[in-house]
Amino acid sequence: MKGRIAVISAAASGIGLAIAEALCGNGWRVYAGDQDTAAVEALRGRENFAAMVCDVSDAASVAQFYAWIASDLMARGAAGIDLLVNNAGISGPTARLEDQPIEAWNATINVNLNGTFLMTRSAIPLLRRRAPGSAIICMSSNAGLFGCPLRGPYVASKWALIGLTKTLAMELGPEGIRVNAICPGSVEGPRIDRVIAADAAERGLTTEEVEREYKRQSSLRTFAAKEDVAAMVQYLMSPAGARISGQALAIDGHTESLSLDMEA
């Protein structure tokens, strides 16, 4: 693992930071992009980290981010990168489709789907330089495997990411570049807490009731942890994952449905 290089979007907190820390702990160098200026500043100076503010939904920001990466790679005598993790995403609004604000729909698609397109398009030439063996991981969701009431724009974007993953795997596989999607269920932390609060408000329930309902959607009756996702990334980049491509890998405690009681 040592000496390998990763680019990770939204890597200054949450799942992205957990992935970055796990890789850095194995000797990787990580280029972290994040929209949160304060969180990016907090990463500066950490061993094996290089961080820059980047809005994945803005083509100019992404271009600036990759120009910075290319300059640093050249200064270090590195040929390219081994891994792109498209982790940036937003949860979007919680409402029935007819009540979804157009601006919120567009923002969700722009970050979750268009941001992945922009980040991946710029990364492919750098990934080719380290192929075979380089890889792309797209952070989808188990919402990309099921329908989910009140989360239309989020679900649409996460389903689209799986289709994009499978298409990229077909396009890049002959060059030895693998592409997979990770599909976490609800992941412990502030983000799912905000989703639960919005769901509770929309449906007139308590947050405790909604959290219990979410946990009952999976056989294990529990949320995932960000460390679970980081461990899957490490597995996919290990020799054990060398033949895995074009897959949507769920980390969701065996979820069979994301249905909710819409008649309550």
Catalytic residue numbers? 154
CA nearest 125: which of 184, 177, 86, 90? 177
Residue written as tokens 């489709």? 97
Tell me, what amino acid is at 257? S
Cα–Cα distance list, 68 to 15, 54, 55, 56, 71 (Å): 23, 11, 14, 15, 5
Q: Other C-beta atoms within 10 Å of 125: how many? A: 12
As to burial, measured by CB atoms within 10 angstroms (0-12 exposed, 13-18 middle, 19+ buried), residue 110 is middle
Structure tokens at 176: 């030895």
Tell me, what amino acid is at 256? E
